[in-house]
């Protein structure tokens, strides 16, 4: 059961991901969460650093789809200025939105990676869909109401995975 929550990779932020390593692995598409993965959950627009990252990915031939549980207004306002395809109200951890994102990019699961900040939605959903998954540290230390509930459950899952030797890395602020 806990294996479904284990990401293939764990990094501090999206900016630490090696575009060259992803290309070497045959990755051509990125499915990414929005809130607390790309920007703080309450930041309406992309930062300059993030815009540069989007441009670097595009120049390297990557396709990007944002898959978010947030509403259409929020995700559209963020994604449209950068011409990024998006799926809102995704109902993660159900894997349907991840599979739809693959179809939109015309890529296979093997050519696609899922990036997110939550075990309970992004990583579980990506793993259940058969994707390579990358967990990032949340951009902000605070969360919206429903995410706060997920974070409490997530902390228990992290501790259980650590106790069972399923992970070797430490989650930030995990002092237990």
What CATH code is carried by the domain that includes residue 37?
3.40.50.1000
Domain count, the chain: 1
> Strand order in 9-11's β-sheet?
9-11, 132-136, 112-116, 29-32, 63-67, 85-87
- Would residue 97 count as lying in a domain? yes
Highest mean pLDDT among 38-52, 97-111, 126-140: 97-111
Pairing of strands 29-32, 63-67: parallel
pLDDT, one tens digit per residue, over 94-126 is 999 999 999 999 999 999 999 999 998 999 999
Give the residue numbers spanning the domain of 115.
2-140
- Would residue 147 count as lying in a domain? no
- Would residue 158 count as lying in a domain? no
Contact 88, 71 (CB under 8 A): yes
Percentage above 70 pLDDT, the chain:
90
pLDDT at 46: 94
| Phi, psi at 118, each rounded to 5° | -125, 130
Q: Is the pLDDT of residue 79 over 70?
A: yes
- In this prediction, residues 16-22 reach a mean pLDDT of 95
Q: Is the pLDDT of residue 85 over 80?
A: yes
Supply the pTM of this predicted model.
0.85
pLDDT at 67: 98
Q: What is the mean pLDDT of the chain?
A: 89
Closest alpha carbon to 118 in 174, 157, 160: 157
């Amino acid at each position: 059961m806990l294996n479904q929550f284990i990401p293939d990779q764990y990094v501090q932020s999206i900016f630490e991901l090696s575009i060259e390593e992803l290309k070497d692995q045959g990755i051509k598409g990125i499915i990414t969460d929005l809130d607390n993965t790309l920007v703080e959950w309450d930041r309406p627009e992309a930062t300059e650093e993030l815009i540069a990252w989007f441009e670097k990915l595009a120049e390297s031939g990557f396709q990007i789809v944002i898959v978010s549980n947030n509403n259409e207004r929020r995700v559209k306002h963020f994604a449209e200025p950068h011409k990024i395809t998006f799926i809102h109200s995704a109902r993660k951890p159900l894997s349907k939105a991840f599979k739809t994102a693959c179809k939109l990019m015309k890529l296979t699961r093997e050519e696609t990676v899922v990036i997110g900040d939550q075990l309970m939605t992004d990583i579980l959903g990506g793993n259940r869909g058969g994707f390579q998954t990358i967990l990032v540290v949340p951009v902000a230390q605070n969360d919206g109401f429903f995410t706060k509930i997920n974070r409490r459950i997530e902390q228990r899952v992290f501790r259980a995975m650590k106790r069972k030797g399923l992970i070797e890395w430490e989650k930030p602020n995990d002092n237990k």
